[in-house]
């Protein structure tokens, strides 16, 4: 997250201010959406001077980008923690676990229904606002970054070298799952259970050609 900041918070007080601004940004995204979000209101709600806001963030897009990066790190941490305590008999269990954690965050994490890993949605389930597909990395699309991070977790769990085409297959998997889960949350604000199950089924069948 700090890579998106104009300057890195050096003191605990500064770090707490940054986290408060991100927290209030997330709450406001749920309350009023991205278009109505203003830097002035974020600063007011976070109880920081507007000048302090601009010390750390260039504009509201930079703030939302930092929130997206924080969301991704939180998601990966949740997946990793679940792996450490769950009994995974097969790599397909990791597929189910990752999708379950994503869905849980969609349902409970403030702002996640509008901005999960960078793409800004006009409403839960889409459509996405133009120009928000490279929020995590200037050179890569959001889903490519997510796929690469999940690839690292999966290979570490399997303790096996990557098979040919796995990198591309995981990108396809993230893209496909993203589309299906958007549909699930368009159909049902809480996420349609049948469509969530279909996303798991699709990934298990598709990735079987690339994973042991």
Residue pointed to by tokens 């976070």: 46
Domains and CATH numbers, the chain: 2-207 (1.10.357.10)
State pLDDT tens for residues 71-126: 999 999 999 999 999 888 889 999 999 999 999 999 999 999 999 999 999 877 87
Separation of alpha carbons 115 and 126, rounded Å: 10
Please give the average per-residue pLDDT across 22-39, as a whole number: 96
Task: Give this prediction's pTM.
Answer: 0.92
Q: For residue 36, what are the contacts with CB-CB under 8 A and spacing of at least 6?
A: none
Residue 159: exposure state from Cβ atoms within 10 A (0-12, 13-18, ≥19):
exposed
Position 1 confidence tier, pLDDT thresholds 50, 70, 90: very low
Written as one string, the DSSP assignment of 144-165 is HHHHHHHHHHHHHHHTSPPPTT
State pLDDT tens for residues 131-176: 899 999 989 999 999 999 999 998 888 877 778 899 999 999 999 9
């Amino acid at each position: 997250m700090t890579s998106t900041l104009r300057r890195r918070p050096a003191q605990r007080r500064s770090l707490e201010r940054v986290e408060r601004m991100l927290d209030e940004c997330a709450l406001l995204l749920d309350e009023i959406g991205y278009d109505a979000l203003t830097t002035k209101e974020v600063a007011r709600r976070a109880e920081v001077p507007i000048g302090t806001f601009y010390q750390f963030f260039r504009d509201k897009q930079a703030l939302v980008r930092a929130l997206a990066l924080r969301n991704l790190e939180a998601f990966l941490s949740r997946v990793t923690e679940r792996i450490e305590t769950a009994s995974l008999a097969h790599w397909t269990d990791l597929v189910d676990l990752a999708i379950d954690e994503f869905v849980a965050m969609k349902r409970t994490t403030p702002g996640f229904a509008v901005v999960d890993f960078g793409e800004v949605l006009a409403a839960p389930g889409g459509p996405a606002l133009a120009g928000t597909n490279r929020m995590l990395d200037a050179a890569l699309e959001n889903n490519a970054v997510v796929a690469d991070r999940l690839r690292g977790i999966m290979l570490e769990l399997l303790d096996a070298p990557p098979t040919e085409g796995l990198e591309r297959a995981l990108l396809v998997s993230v893209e496909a799952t993203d589309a299906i889960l958007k549909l699930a949350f368009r159909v049902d604000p809480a996420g349609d259970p049948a469509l969530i199950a279909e996303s798991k089924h699709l990934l298990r069948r598709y990735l079987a050609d690339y994973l042991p």
